[in-house]
Amino acid sequence: MTRGGALVTGSAAGIGRAIVLALAREGFDVAVHYRTSQADAEATRAGAESLGVRTTSLQADVTDRDAATALVEDAHRELGGLRVLVNNVGNYVYTPLDELTFEEWDDVLATNLEATFTTCRAAVPLLRESGGGRIVNLCYAGAQDLVARPSLVAYVIAKTGVILLTKAIARAEAANGITANVVAPGVIESSRSLPLREIPAGRPGRVDEVASAVLYFVSPEAEYVTGQVLEVAGGWNL
């Protein structure tokens, strides 16, 4: 018996793919989202389907509000009801503050914060219809510490905003059976850089470790857990 439908944005590869496959193993029907990586998305979808759940792959540019809203609605329709939304999309720019362009600023805010707001806004009424559900938004370890990071300023602002948005949803929707939480990875095996000296655990995290944190928040055991940030970082940024 299915546990309901789950949409994971940015799930053609990497952390998103790991989350999709982990959800499928737990019995969730899954929607794989991609923007341009259709072949990778189809491979992820096929892997999930092999686990015996209903699957679909959906293309959308989530920085387009209409497209992001339609993505959530399509996943709800094709999976027979949405119970889980995981926001994994988000571009990353490492640029000195005085060299950061308007285009980079706009892109990082749009992909990380605005897209998350749009998909959550579209999902909440559908989760209410389904009798409740789970929202898990991805962030990065240390975002809630409000530490100045001049070369990451757009990304830090966007991800801190994601935390505040998530907490607001958690408070507003608790009475409707909807939880909203954040998983905050540190340096992961799929990260662009691997500064191992900065990680107390001495190694990067695995994508399946991030997926396991997401699974906790969508599990029955986490029904009373909302508005929380779970770092998967091996002590990085503490």
Q: What is the pLDDT of residue 237?
A: 84
Catalytic residues: 155
Please state the domain extents for the chain.
5-232
CATH number listed for the domain at residues 5-232: 3.40.50.720
Q: What is the pLDDT of residue 212?
A: 98
Quickly count: other Cβ atoms within 10 Å of residue 86's Cβ.
29
Instruction: Compute mean pLDDT per 10 residues along the chain, 238 residues long, and list them.
Output: 91 97 97 95 97 97 97 97 96 93 97 98 96 96 89 95 98 98 94 82 94 98 98 91
Per-residue pLDDT tens over the stretch 173-221: 999 999 999 999 999 998 777 788 889 999 999 999 999 999 999 999 9
Q: What is the pLDDT of residue 1?
A: 65
Q: What is the DSSP letter of 204?
A: P
Q: What is the pLDDT of residue 147?
A: 87
| Torsion angle in degrees (nearest 10) through CA of 180, 94, 194, 90 | 30
In sequence order, the 6+-apart residues with CB closer than 8 A to the CB of 79 are: 4, 5, 6, 7, 29, 30, 31, 54, 56
Can you read off the two tokens belonging to residue 65?
């509000």
| Torsion angle in degrees (nearest 10) through CA of 15, 17, 18, 23 | 130
b/e sequence 45-55, b meaning 16+ C-beta within 10 Å: bebbbeeebbb
Model pTM score: 0.95
Q: Sign (positive/negative) of CA torsion 169, 30, 68, 149?
A: positive
